[in-house]
Structures are given as structure tokens and as C-alpha cells.
Amino acid sequence: MGVKNIVIIPAYNEEENIAGVVLGIKKVVPDADIVVVNDGGQDRTGEIARKSGGQVISLPFNMGYGVALQTGFKYALRRGYEYAVQMDADGQHDPRDILSLLQAVKSGEADVAIGSRFLEGNSYRIPALRRLGMFIFSFLASVFTGQRITDPTSGYQALNRRGLMFYASDYYPVDFPDADVIIMLHRAGLKVKEVPVTMHSSTTGRSMHSGLKPLYYIFKMFLSIFVTLLRKNTVKADMF
């Protein structure tokens, strides 16, 4: 038995997309385990994911994307997986990129590899206002990490065990993990690397950025980055 890999997919009411996502991953990495974290949805996501060949962890009630994701990290850590990939359940992420993401962490280049849709001039269409928000936060992330970050909102990432340990810890902000996480990683001494990936526009068109959420998101991100910078750099000493 070689090194164990796991793909973690947080899913909330994704019965239409989840089978395609799981099967797509199986085609690319047949030996990896796939775990779908069912975030207290009301539909048949869990059942379909299990039939498609994934393992299913069900949260007792809806707790949001970040909590579901972290559940997967905790599980992966507990089960001793060496490498983990996190992926969205809505089919936006092309499973073929798993290999290049995993390659970046397996080679030791990075503890966390982040799939960026903007490296290599990907033609991904985004509304102007959101583009502005992304621009600001990728700028801040770039400044505070001292390296070019183009897509801090990306939920398509690969991690090694060090990355897993950080993501499973209490430092991980479970409401909108984003640019602040990248800055925290950097300050904790973990290596981050962006890898170009393909993302499709969401098939269902349902986004977690709707209603008043963008405003809260912007507020939260500024506050989180600000207090992250105010904190003493104790994370490293605590964990590693």
C-alpha cells in the first residue's frame, strides 16, 4: 500500500452534481479515498455520494462550508492520510487538476497548494464588483505573504500533513476561509504555492456569495486579516 490520499468534498444539497464530481475524481485518481461531508442538507446528496463510491460523513445540521470542510480535515488527520485535496461539490473544479495540485505538495514545494483560475490567463468570467473584492484581497495576501497570490478565494487546494494539522486546528477560520488563511499559513511558517487550474462557471448558479453576504464577507476579511497581523506569531510554536 502506497501513500494514502484523500479528496474532501463539502456538500450542501448537491444531489444533482455530486455523482458527477465523485465519478470524475475516481477516473483521475482511482486509488484515492473520497469523502463527502454532507452539511445537513435535506436532499439525497449523502445517498447518491455513497452509491457513486464515496464515503459520507453527515453533519447533524447545516453548519456552513468551512465547518464541513474542517470536518473532512479532522477526519483525514485522524485516519492518517498523508495528502488531502479539498474540492467543491458543484462541479466547478475540474478533477484533472488534482494531479498537478498533489504534485506540488508531494514534491515538497509547498505545504498547501492552491488552485488558481487566474494563473496562465484563464478566461473565467466574474462580475465586476466581485472582481474588485478579489483584487483587493489577493493584493493584501500578496503583500503580507511576500509572494504573488492571484486567487485567494479558491476552494480547490491540496495539503500535506502539516497543512492538514493547521486546517484542523482552532486557528482555521470556519466562516469564509479565504485570504486570511493564506496569511495565517505564511505566518505559521507553512509554504504556499499557487497552481493553475481550470474552473467552470457554477452549473447550478447558486453561489455562497449572495444577498448581504458579500458585505459581511468584506468586513470579515478585513477584520480577520487585521487581527491576524496583530496576533503574536505563536501559531508556529504551538503546533510544530
Partner 1 sequence: MPLRQKIFALVVGISVFLFILEMVRRKKLREEYSWLWLLTGMGIIVLAVWYDLLLFVSHFIGAVVPTTTLFIFSLVFLLLISLQFSVKISSLADQNKKLAQELAILRHEMEEMQSEHLVD
DSSP for 194-208, written as a single string: EEE--BPPPSS---S
Output 74 or 106, the one with its CB closest to partner 1. Answer: 74
Compute φ and ψ for 210, nearest 5 degrees: -140, 165
Q: How many residues bind partner 1 (CB under 8 A)?
A: 17
- Closest C-alpha to 182, from 134, 146, 215, 141: 141
74 is an interface residue for partner 1 by CB under 8 A:
yes
Among 28, 174, 229, 239, binds partner 1 (CB under 8 A): 174
The upper half-sphere exposure of residue 226, i.e. CA atoms within 13 Å in the direction of its Cβ, equals 6
State which amino acid sits at residue 35.
V
Write the interaction track for partner 1 spanning residues 54-73; mark x where CB under 8 A is met and - where it is not. Answer: -xxxxxxx-x---x--xx--
Among residues 60 and 80, whose Cβ is nearest to partner 1?
Answer: 60
Q: At its nearest, how many Å lie between partner 1 and the CB of residue 49?
A: 12
Contact 162, 111 (CB under 8 A): yes
| Residues β-bridged to residue 112 | 159, 192
List binders of partner 1 among 87-116 (CB under 8 A).
Answer: none
**Residue number with CB closer to partner 1 (72 or 115):** 72
Summarize as ranges the residues that interact with partner 1 (CB under 8 A). Answer: 37, 55-61, 63, 67, 70-71, 74-75, 78, 170, 174
